[in-house]
C-alpha cells in the first residue's frame, strides 16, 4: 500500500495554526468541538472496547493499546484516551497546536507523545498502532483517499481506524458554513470548504479501497435548542463518524 509524499495542505494548516492558542477555551473558536467531544469520545471508547474486548468500567480499560490521534490539535481527544490507560501519540503538522497540547498535558500530569509530524512520516518510521483516530481532518487534506490509505498503513493487523468528517449535503452547508461560520461566528469564515466535504459512501469506498473493512458508521447530530449532540443510526446528513478495521 503506497502513500503520497504528504497529506499536508499548507493553507489548511495555516488556518488552524492561527487559532492554536484557543484550543482549550470552551467559549472560543473551538467551541463546536468542545460541545461535540462527549458524544464522539463515547463512540470512540465504545468501538475500542468492543473491538479489543475491554471493559469500560475499569479504571484503565485501554492499558496496553497504542493509540494515534492524527491531526490531534490541542489534545481534546488525546488526553481522555491517555486517562483511559492508552499509550497515546498525538501528531499534528501545525507546530503551534503541538506546543499548546504539550503544555496542557503537562499541566494535567499526562504523559502523551506529542509530535509535530505527518501521518506519512510516522509510516516511514515504521510506527504501528492498535487504533488510529483521524477526527475532523479528512476534509482538510489534499487527497482524502491517499490519506485513508496512510491511516491503514499505520494500523497493526486487527487494528481499527476511526474517522469523522462532514457530509456534502445542502444541510451541512447550512449548518457548518452558514450557521457555524457566518451566523454564529463560532469559526472564522473560510475554515471549511463545502466542496471538500465527503459523503459517507465516499469515505466507506476509500476505506475499502485501502483494504479496510467498515465495521460501523453513525451520525453525530446537534440539537440547537438543547445545545447538545447525540449519536444517530440514521441521520448522517451533517457530521458522521466511521470505524474501519484492518483485518488479520
Cell (9 digits) for 195 = 466542496
- Cα-only R_g, the chain: 17
Measured in degrees and rounded to the nearest 5, phi and psi for residue 37 equal: -55, -45
Note whether 92 and 116 are within 8 A (CB). Answer: yes
116 with 85: CB under 8 angstroms?
no
Coil/strand/helix, residue 156: strand
Give 202's strand partners.
none
193 marked as binding residue: no
Per-residue 3-state assignment (H helix, E strand, C coil) for 1-14: CCCCCCCCCHHHHH
135 is in an annotated binding site: yes
Q: Mapping DSSP to helix (H, G, I), strand (E, B) and coil, where does residue 215 land?
A: strand
Strands 66-70 and 155-166: unpaired
- What whole-number distance in Å separates Cα of residue 129 and Cα of residue 152? 10
Give the CA count within 13 Å in the CB-facing half-sphere of 121: 9
Alpha helix ranges (H) inside the chain: 10-17, 31-52, 78-83, 95-108, 119-125, 144-153, 170-172, 200-209
246 annotated as a binding-site residue: no
Residue 71 marked as a ligand binder = yes
The grid coordinates of residue 74 equal 490541542
The count of other CB atoms within 10 Å of the CB of residue 124 is 12
Distance CA 67, CA 85 (A): 10
Q: List the binding residues for S-adenosyl-L-methionine.
A: 40, 71, 92, 135
Q: List the binding residues.
A: 40, 71, 92, 135
Amino acid at each position: 500500500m503506497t502513500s503520497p509524499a504528504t497529506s499536508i495542505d499548507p493553507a489548511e494548516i495555516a488556518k488552524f495554526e492561527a487559532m492554536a492558542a484557543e484550543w482549550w477555551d470552551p467559549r472560543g473558536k473551538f467551541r463546536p468541538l468542545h460541545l461535540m467531544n462527549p458524544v464522539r469520545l463515547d463512540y470512540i471508547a465504545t468501538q475500542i472496547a468492543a473491538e479489543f474486548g475491554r471493559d469500560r468500567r475499569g479504571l484503565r480499560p485501554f492499558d496496553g493499546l497504542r493509540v494515534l490521534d492524527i491531526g490531534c490539535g490541542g489534545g481534546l481527544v488525546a488526553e481522555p484516551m491517555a486517562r483511559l490507560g492508552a499509550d497515546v501519540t498525538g501528531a499534528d503538522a501545525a507546530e503551534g497546536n503541538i506546543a499548546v497540547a504539550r503544555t496542557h498535558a503537562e499541566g494535567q500530569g499526562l504523559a502523551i507523545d506529542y509530535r509535530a509530524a505527518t501521518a506519512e512520516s510516522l509510516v516511514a518510521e515504521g510506527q504501528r498502532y492498535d487504533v488510529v483516530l483521524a477526527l475532523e481532518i479528512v476534509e482538510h487534506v489534499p487527497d482524502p483517499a491517499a490519506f485513508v490509505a496512510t491511516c491503514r498503513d499505520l494500523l497493526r493487523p486487527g487494528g481499527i481506524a476511526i474517522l469523522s468528517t462532514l457530509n456534502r449535503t445542502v444541510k451541512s452547508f447550512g449548518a457548518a458554513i452558514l450557521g457555524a461560520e457566518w451566523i454564529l461566528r463560532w469559526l472564522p469564515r473560510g475554515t471549511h470548504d463545502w466542496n471538500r466535504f465527503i459523503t459517507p459512501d465516499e469515505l466507506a469506498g476509500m476505506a475499502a479501497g485501502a483494504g479496510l473493512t467498515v465495521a460501523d458508521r453513525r451520525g453525530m447530530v446537534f440539537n440547537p435548542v438543547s445545545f447538545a449532540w447525540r449519536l444517530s443510526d440514521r441521520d448522517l446528513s451533517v457530521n458522521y463518524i466511521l470505524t474501519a478495521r484492518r483485518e488479520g
